[in-house]
Amino acid sequence: MLGEHSSKQYDNELEAIRSKVLLMGGIVETQFLDAMTCFRIGNPERADRVIREDDVVNQLEVSLDDACSHLIVRRQPTANDLRTIMATIKIITDLERVGDEATKIARVAKNLHKRGNAVVNHYEMVRGVANTATDMLHDALDAFARNDGQQALALIAQDAIIDHEFRSIMRNLITFMMEDPRTISAALDTLWVAKAIERIGDHAKNIAEYVIYVVDGKDIRHTRSAAPAISEELPE
């Protein structure tokens, strides 16, 4: 049995980890916003910054995983406490992938503007879905910070909206490409950006599911309510 002293130390260490996860969350949120700005107006310096930040995010992933392991070994948490650590380990992976997707958007934006393709920039087409994903990611981190299962549950439903919007973007892009094959390269750039945004929505949904796991003790992954059938369909 852990004494009060030891239990307090456990709480402090866990809180330090949680703060660092939120720091990591803040960085990937900024990466995503900056990457979308690059896609909208160009700005290669900012794109480079997004790409560089990815190293910081990667290092945070490795050091946070390590901190979680140390906490388990030294404090031998109870089943309840362990649930929080396990969820945190999973959330770290999702945040790192959000950083990857933001980096991909920054790379596309950089190449696109370098090629002078800004004229056929389809930013307007993805603006809506990007806003939805931004809100989802923000809400997911907020729900994690406040251990708010209600908020987490509410945002999961938005994933279906993103998938719906993504399919509609696909259809629009196909129409554009068919009407003017010279736009195919630019359309594919937009497609990759849309795909990255859709993935960020997926990761936000995953984070929300882990928050619910911590708060309610229920693993709702792969259940109907968490993942409506529509979100499993591939866009056509």
Question: In the complex, which residues of this chain contact its own copies (CB under 8 A)?
Answer: 55, 58-59, 61-62, 65-66, 68-70, 72-73, 76-79, 82-83, 86, 89-90, 93, 103-104, 107-108, 111, 170, 174, 177-178, 181-182, 184-185, 188-189, 191-192, 195, 219, 221-222, 232-236
Q: Are 204 and 133 in contact (CB under 8 A)?
A: yes
Q: Considering the complex, what minimum distance in angstroms separates the CB of residue 190 from its own copies? A: 13
> Judged by CB, which is closer to its own copies: 66, or 216?
66
> Judged by CB, which is closer to its own copies: 114, or 146?
114
Q: Are 191 and 173 in contact (CB under 8 A)?
A: yes
Write down the residue that tokens 């259809």 correspond to. 171
Q: Are 103 and 31 in contact (CB under 8 A)?
A: yes
Q: Considering the complex, what minimum distance in angstroms separates the CB of residue 218 from its own copies? A: 11
> Judged by CB, which is closer to its own copies: 46, or 195?
195
Among candidates 115, 164, 119, 160, which has minimal Cα distance to 136? 160
Q: Considering the complex, what minimum distance in angstroms separates the CB of residue 96 from its own copies? A: 9
> Judged by CB, which is closer to its own copies: 78, or 150?
78
Q: Considering the complex, what minimum distance in angstroms separates the CB of residue 51 from its own copies? A: 9
> Judged by CB, which is closer to its own copies: 150, or 175?
175
- How far, in Å, are 2, 56, 126, 141, 222 from residue 194 at the CA level? 49, 24, 6, 22, 24
Q: Considering the complex, what minimum distance in angstroms separates the CB of residue 23 from its own copies? A: 18
Exposed, middle or buried: residue 34 (CB in 10 Å: 0-12, 13-18, 19+)?
A: buried
Q: Considering the complex, what minimum distance in angstroms separates the CB of residue 146 from its own copies? A: 24
Q: How far apart, in whole angstroms, are the C-alpha atoms of residue 236 and residue 224?
A: 22
> Judged by CB, which is closer to its own copies: 147, or 223?
223
